[in-house]
Structure 1
Amino acid sequence: MAIPSVLRGRESTSSDKSKDSAAAPHLANDQFPVTASSGQQYGKAQVVSVRTISMLVIVSLGGLIFGFDTGQISGFVAMPNFVKNFANNGTKFSNVREGTIVGLLSIGTLVGSVAAGPIADAFGRKKSIITWCVVFIIGVIIQIATMTSWIQIAVGRLVAGFGVGGLSVLTPMYQSETAPRQVRGAMISAYQLFITFGIFLAYCINYGTEAIQSRASWRITMGIGFIFPTVMIAGIMFLPESPRWEYRKGRIDSCRTTIAKSYGVPEDHPEVVKELHDIKEKFDAEMVNGVKAPWYEVFTGPRMAYRTLLGITLQALQQLTGANFFFYYGTSIFTSIGLSNSFVTSMILGGINFGSTFPGLYVVEHFGRRKALITGGLCMFVCFMIFASVGSFSLQPTATTDAAGTITYHNKTAGTVMIVFTCLFIVSYAMTWGPIVWALVAEIYPSQYRARSMGFATASNWIWNFLISFFTPFIVSDINFRYGYIFAACCFAGAVIVYLFVCESQGRRLEEIDTMYVTKVPPWRSSKWVPPADLLEGDKKVEGEQRDGDMERVEKV
């Protein structure tokens, strides 16, 4: 079965076969060892197994590394010993110094995410994951070795950010390329689950060490951060390479074996055959000119400008939903009802965030990406409108502040309402926009562009992460709770953008998702989209035909 030229993105000619063969000579010895009955005798694929769970846990540690590093710094800047050693005059952090220490991680992640794509394409997903874990460890060593230099802390966070940025691209990428399609969304979304767990874990450890009056108060938490990349390096050694990367490098047998093990079926099972068939057809289409696509084709390739810009927009909107605003400003809100310990506040918000992400893994696979993101965006819009309105018009501060500059609020009813809608917002975010955006961005690109396009999209996330973390103190000091109206508008805009531009990818193979975008399926109709008749017929042929010839081209009989 030959894919129509519109799905290829380039015009094909009668000489394509020779060009494909020249471009990918390794395909000549690949076979589909499937008989008409071989697939039927094995039954359904076992998509949830010890292997898939192990892969989920080990690879998702990339999210735990990021979450733990993010959560620990918010506690450090409030610890007496950390303030004594690194704050201005040892008494209080200026907005600039605090913003630099906190925000340089995001600058590092920006660089790491952009660099991750080309490195992963050249050396493979596994080796790249190991490399970025080592880079992160070096960044932690730089930080933990300092005594009083806040610049060394900042530089260490910058280096650690390189590692976090690389892992933020590779973790969803590896899961999307290796996980069974039936649970792919949940496995990619587990990256966000582990981020929230890392944040919550860091909050808890900071709460236990903040009373220590020595450098151990922050060094203990920082030292525990060595454990996660070390475990990830050891675990990834026992996992296979991404099957789609292996195929592109000519390792067809290894690719087939990995897919079979992922689904928990024999190598001649129809599920394996169909997936390998789709990978081969897409690869043939990409290599029709016999040359590797240059990097700028992430904007000029078939419907790639649309998808690359969509990924960049979705990742930016994930930050512009305002989740980080709540984690930054939550302490002041909770003060209004007498809960003044910032570490307890952080633990409450972090616990809600972590716990609510679990249902998100169910939502992504049972309600679809589009419905979840649209519903979540509208819910967050309502929460922010109420939060901002009550904070601006009902919660009046006293005329004075304490020595630390903390404003005390006295209207406990208004404060309670704001806390309730803060928690509802976090629940909505953690179940929808938090995890599902990572899944979408890992699914919408074809194999040849996936690494670079994901790098650009993830870089957008980190740019806005830095901007929000750095400028929030300045903005809040000027407009206070009215800042929430900006985030409310972004939440509403996010729901509209998903409705108009995002195709439903639930339960579909990555190659089918690519076909939807290339053939310009209207997003609002994508949930009911059925692949073209010739593709369906080709799948049936794959299940029933004896494949004892070579794989240079799969043609309909």
Structure 2
Amino acid sequence: MVLHNGAYDYPEDIQLNEYDPLNEAFLYPQTPPDAAPPDYSEPLDALKSSAASHPQPTAGLPYSTTLNSSGKLGGARLLYFTSVFVSLGVFLFGYDQGVYSGIITFPAFQKYFRHPSSAQIGMVVSVLELGALILSLTVGYMADRWGRKRTILLGAGVFIAGGAVQTFTGRSILLLVLGRVVSGLGVGLLSSVIPLYQSEISPSHARGRLACVEFTGNICGYAASVWIDYSCTFINQNSNLVWRVPLFIQCVLGLLLFAGAFFIVESPRWLIGKNDAHGYLVLRLLYADSPETAEREFHSIKEAILREQTLSPPEQRSYRAMFRTHFRRLVVGCSALLLAQLNGINIISYYAPLVFAEAGFKGNDALFMAGVNALVYLASTIPPWFLVDRWGRRPIFISGALTMGTCLFLISLAMWMGGKSTPTFVALLVVVYNAAFGYSWGPIGWLYPAEIYPLSIRAKGVSLSTACNWLFNFIVGQMTPILQETISWRLYLIPGVCCLVSAVVVFRYFPETKGVDLEEVGSLFDGY
């Protein structure tokens, strides 16, 4: 059956109602009144066969169903497999964020690059965020024009190139910075499009859990980088392999993501928004366990798209129009990731061995403690899998901010007072702080912006929110080693205050999105 204007092709068992803009009776697939209901017990392979008669998807790449003839990877299995696999993308930028925390302390690295200054070290570490910032601003355009899947492929390819430059660089620290910038470009793409993709393939009742699984992948990458750094300390410390091996591993991981991304499904919401019939088929694959749910999701998505197309024509979907019509949502979405950075996480993540050394740990003990901290950090990301869709976003945001602020104030106090017990006390507080972030602002900070924007500007809104994250990530990474030298223990008071401010901002301005369909989130902002 074909839409009256020829824009949308449906499978053979679907007929269409007319769209009446006066009473908002929006177009959706429906069984005709004089016919028996369609039989959705038919094998899913039959649906795939029926799609063969329709035009190929506009994105231009094959849309793998990842289904074999027995349908073993349909439904929930396909959904969770896809979610776990794309988490490899956030694993990559978690790995890249943590890998230099140990490398910058290696004598071989220091000697090879002629003992770089604190400012140069800060640049090498933080310039990743500068590259991420630059390209994250364009992700909205890329993801809307090319699709979520092709943007993931591009991000993985760019990341591999940057990792190769870092691994095989000469003695110039400028080349190392260049490779780090290129990797940052890939991270900017992946960090914007993967949360977007994740939110668009997830059902509302599990959207929070799947986003938290994604963040666990990020921290798994961070923890892996710290322990790989520690393992490399057992290599000959005079060999350049001690720092080249951790950098080469990121290239291998990027290649895995690039190869595997050819086999994931495209976002059904993006396909439906492009009037591509494969969007409905993807929903039938993702909801193979419940065809009725696939129908319901299709109705909801298509109605929302048509409503937005009627009320928001293309000229009203630009960045300028987005600031005018959705300014409050933009402020909330950007502040979620901006505050996550100002709350101090990357003071610990990027420079954990230096923080432990400042507290009194010596040599490899500081790197070992950073590894222990990373494992606790990783474990702390698991409770949100089960809590985010029960408690909601707001309670987790607020409790995390208050816990982190308390830990940071106590870290400052302990370093100011000194004493024999200071290293142990600071180590305990850092671990608790990291766990509080891993359970709260880490996963929920990335989930929340992807939930609150309407489809017409979702890609642009998420990319702008992500750009704010990388901008303040860069500022924190660049300033931390300098402030550690100049103001010492007072440094931790700054993010401590920001944590308290964050709790107030969430309480006052962040609506609860738990269990709300993406197409209905807009109504939540009416009371804020």
TM-score normalised by L of structure 1: 0.79
- Secondary structure of 1:287's counterpart equals helix
2:383 equivalent to 1:375: no
1:131 corresponds to which of 154, 163, 170? 154
1:63 and 1:194 in contact (8 A); partners too: yes
Separation (CA, whole Å) in 1 of partners of 2:353 and 2:494? 17
1:240 corresponds to which of 265, 281, 284? 265
2:36 equivalent to 1:32: no
2:129 and 2:184 in contact (8 A); partners too: yes
- Cα gap change, 1:237 to 1:20, in 2 (>3 Å): farther
2:74 and 2:285 in contact (8 A); partners too: no
Letter in 1 for 2:204: R
- Aligned match of 1:305: 327
Separation (CA, whole Å) in 2 of partners of 1:51 and 1:331? 42
1:180 and 1:262 in contact (8 A); partners too: no
User: How many pairs are equivalent?
Assistant: 472
2:303 equivalent to 1:281: yes
- What is the root-mean-square deviation in Å for CA atoms of aligned residues? 2.7
1:19 and 1:289 in contact (8 A); partners too: no
Give the fraction of aligned pairs with identical amino acids, expressed as a percent: 28
Q: CA deviation at 1:418?
A: 2.3
2:110 equivalent to 1:83: yes
- Aligned match of 1:178: 201
- Cα gap change, 1:338 to 1:500, in 2 (>3 Å): closer
Letter in 2 for 1:300: R
- Aligned match of 1:53: 80
1:20 and 1:288 in contact (8 A); partners too: no
2:337 and 2:469 in contact (8 A); partners too: yes
Letter in 2 for 1:71: G
- Cα gap change, 1:105 to 1:20, in 2 (>3 Å): farther
- Cα gap change, 1:508 to 1:139, in 2 (>3 Å): same
Separation (CA, whole Å) in 1 of partners of 2:85 and 2:116? 37
2:187 corresponds to which of 136, 141, 164? 164
Q: CA deviation at 1:38?
A: 7.8
Q: Which runs of 5+ in 1 are unaligned?
A: 1-15, 22-26, 396-410, 523-557
Indicate the larger mover: 420-429 or 158-167: 420-429
1:246 and 1:255 in contact (8 A); partners too: yes
Q: CA deviation at 1:218?
A: 1.8
- Aligned match of 1:320: 342
1:32 and 1:273 in contact (8 A); partners too: no
Q: Which runs of 5+ in 2 are unaligned?
A: 1-18, 43-72
Separation (CA, whole Å) in 2 of partners of 1:53 and 1:505? 21
Indicate the larger mover: 508-517 or 424-433: 508-517
Letter in 2 for 1:207: Y
Separation (CA, whole Å) in 1 of partners of 2:199 and 2:151? 16
- Aligned match of 1:477: 485
Separation (CA, whole Å) in 1 of partners of 2:270 and 2:87? 19
Separation (CA, whole Å) in 2 of partners of 1:428 and 1:50? 30
Q: CA deviation at 1:33?
A: 4.0
Q: Provide, for residues 203-222 of structure 1, a one-character-per-residue CA deviation record: whole Å limited to 9, x for no partner.
A: 11112223333222222211
Separation (CA, whole Å) in 2 of partners of 1:105 and 1:353? 22
1:299-448 aligned at under 5 Å gives the runs 299-301=323-325, 304-327=326-349, 328=351, 331-333=354-356, 336=359, 338=361, 340-341=363-364, 342-392=366-416, 394-395=417-418, 411-448=419-456
Q: CA deviation at 1:289?
A: 5.7
Separation (CA, whole Å) in 2 of partners of 1:167 and 1:131? 9
- Cα gap change, 1:20 to 1:461, in 2 (>3 Å): farther
1:20 and 1:284 in contact (8 A); partners too: no
Separation (CA, whole Å) in 2 of partners of 1:243 and 1:155? 37
Letter in 1 for 2:288: G
- Secondary structure of 1:182's counterpart equals coil
Separation (CA, whole Å) in 2 of partners of 1:205 and 1:48? 36
Separation (CA, whole Å) in 2 of partners of 1:106 and 1:297? 27
Q: CA deviation at 1:383?
A: 1.5
Separation (CA, whole Å) in 1 of partners of 2:468 and 2:455? 20
Q: CA deviation at 1:40?
A: 12
2:90 and 2:214 in contact (8 A); partners too: yes
Indicate the larger mover: 329-338 or 502-511: 329-338
Q: Provide, for residues 277-330 of structure 1, a one-character-per-residue CA deviation record: whole Å limited to 9, x for no partner.
A: 2212221222116831222222112xx100111111111110111122233255
Separation (CA, whole Å) in 2 of partners of 1:357 and 1:193? 5
Q: CA deviation at 1:20?
A: 12
2:345 and 2:437 in contact (8 A); partners too: yes
2:462 corresponds to which of 445, 454, 458? 454
2:148 equivalent to 1:150: no
- Aligned match of 1:296: 320
1:534-553 aligned at under 5 Å gives the runs none
Letter in 2 for 1:164: V
Q: CA deviation at 1:109?
A: 0.4
Letter in 1 for 2:426: M
TM-score normalised by L of structure 2: 0.84
Separation (CA, whole Å) in 2 of partners of 1:39 and 1:324? 54
- Cα gap change, 1:150 to 1:290, in 2 (>3 Å): closer
Separation (CA, whole Å) in 1 of partners of 2:30 and 2:465? 36
